[in-house]
Amino acid sequence: MRVRQLTLLASLTTLLLCSWQLAAASDRGSLIVRSNPKDAYVYADGEPVYWAKGHYITLEAGDHKIDIYNYGFRPETRTVTITAHHTTKIDVAMQAIPGAVSGPWGAITVEGPHGAAILLNGKDPSAFFVGSIKEFDNDILWHKELIVPPGQQQLTVAYTDHDPWTVAVNVEANKRVVVDAFKGVRKTVAWSRGDQLKELSRFQGGVLNDHVAVEKVGGQFAVNNGQLNCGDSAHLTWSSTGATQTLIDGQPVAATGDETVSPKGNTTYKFTAVGPGGTYTSESTVNVNSAITASLNVTPGDVKLQNGQTPDSTQATVSWSAPGADTVSIDPIGTVSANGSQQVPINPSNNGAGPVDQTVTYTLHASNACGGSDTRTASLHISGPEVAAVTPPSETSDSAQKAEAPQLPHTASPLPMLALMGILFLAVAGLFRMFVKTSV
């Protein structure tokens, strides 16, 4: 009787668990990723899931971001809509990165859960994913290898419902390091095959022999002109190999490119290329000459006025040069261009008040956007005997017009003029009669 009760209790418990699981899965659906190559690995909403080959991925109903990775191929991203209790299928043909890679080589064997993703020298799968543990867990009967450049490597294991785990692995040429996932490096052994391998494809999948051969990150970075004057430009050029991220001063750039720069001060540009195969860095410095060497001259610098000479009958010339300046002004002329000349009048301030002995000072101020500045002065000396005051042209003209114009009394009457004209008319008429009679 007791056995029957226990059996009934167990059955009820199993039924309750099944009912709970069905209820929990009521709003979930399935995803199948059919990829080429078949060993591609799937991330859903930024989390590692499993390799794609032959697996159903269970997801909640709704939209999901699906990333597909395989070393040696360009990452693919899809947005899929999962319907509860339905299976969604997507087909992905990945684009291979052309070319082979060469050694020297070392190898890493990783033992642990087959579904875990392996990242090398970074934790962003879009840049540092190299494969899954099932591709790198055997080197006895068949070769399933992660082949890497010699050196210090940071290996990360990412697995569903686990925090990412990272371990430093020192890989020597022609040696193989065995790593126990989530525990540590277990041993380093000889790897004679490494010395025999020359060029390899980045990825090879198969039943017995799999490998991922990670390309070492390399690059070049240069500047065409390391010495500039303020306002001039330099040209940066760069290239990289094996990199999945390239940056200049922390800003992303294309793997290969060029850029024109116009720094305002001494500037060091840092190029960084990173990928599963390591890190390449290079720096180039551009020195900027911000100095301004200006000049200012007044010709003639000494003006001697002669007797009878008026100040406005002679002029001086101010000339200047300020190469490398953005802003130039001359007191008391005002804002001017960086190079030029201008005539200035001779106008002593004591005009007409005694002998002249005066100095006029011109001051040039020059600056540029790089912080450079310069100030120059030049003087004009004016001397001579007492000089008559010069009447402004407008006043002289008005006075002359007033002197030449006759002034008539405002009370003059026209009657005397009419009487005079009448007397003249009678005289002319009388002379005319006398002339006629004489002629007869």
Across 323-343, average pLDDT: 94
How far is 278 from 216, CA to CA, in rounded Å? 6
pLDDT at 400 over 50: no
pLDDT at 417 over 90: no
How far is 116 from 25, CA to CA, in rounded Å? 24
Residue ranges of domains in the chain: 25-93, 101-213, 220-275+284-289, 295-384
pLDDT, position 406: 46
pLDDT, position 357: 86
- Flag the least confident range among 205-214, 245-254, 295-304: 205-214
How far is 66 from 77, CA to CA, in rounded Å? 6
* Band of pLDDT at residue 1, cut at 50, 70 and 90: very low
Domain 25-93: CATH superfamily is: Carboxypeptidase-like, regulatory domain (2.60.40.1120)
pLDDT at 54 over 70: yes
DSSP of 141-202, one letter per residue?
A: SS-EEEEE-SEEEEEEEE-TTS--EEEEEEE-TTEEEEEETTTEEEEEEE-THHHH--EE-S
Phi-psi region of 371 (alpha: psi -120 to 50; beta: other; left: phi over 0): left
Pick 330 or 195 by higher pLDDT: 330
Task: Specify burial of residue 33 (Cβ count, 10 A radius: 0-12, 13-18, 19+).
Answer: buried
- Neighbour tally for 164: CB within 10 Å: 13
Q: Is residue 404 within a helix (H) or strand (E), and if so which, with residue range?
A: helix 393-404
pLDDT at 231 over 70: yes
Across 260-286, average pLDDT: 96
- What one-character DSSP code corresponds to residue 352? T
- Flag the least confident range among 215-224, 352-361, 388-397: 388-397
Whether the domain at 25-93 and the domain at 295-384 fall into the same CATH topology = yes
pLDDT at 398 over 50: no
pLDDT, position 129: 97
What counts of helices (H) and strands (E) characterise the chain?
5, 35
Across 235-257, average pLDDT: 96
Handedness of CA 53, 58, 61, 64 (dihedral sign): negative
pLDDT, position 212: 95
Q: Is residue 364 within a helix (H) or strand (E), and if so which, with residue range?
A: strand 356-367
Average pLDDT, the chain: 84
Across 417-422, average pLDDT: 56
Phi-psi region of 182 (alpha: psi -120 to 50; beta: other; left: phi over 0): left
How far is 363 from 331, CA to CA, in rounded Å? 5
What does CATH list as the number for 295-384?
2.60.40
pLDDT at 424 over 80: no
pLDDT, position 401: 46
Cα–Cα distance list, 215 to 98, 274, 374 (Å): 12, 11, 54
pLDDT at 3 over 50: no
pLDDT at 86 over 60: yes
Cα–Cα distance list, 370 to 291, 328, 373 (Å): 9, 14, 9
What percent of the chain clears pLDDT 90, i.e. is strictly above it? Answer: 63
* Band of pLDDT at residue 303, cut at 50, 70 and 90: confident
Please write the tens of the pLDDT for every residue from 137-185: 887 777 888 999 999 999 999 998 789 999 999 999 999 999 999 999 9
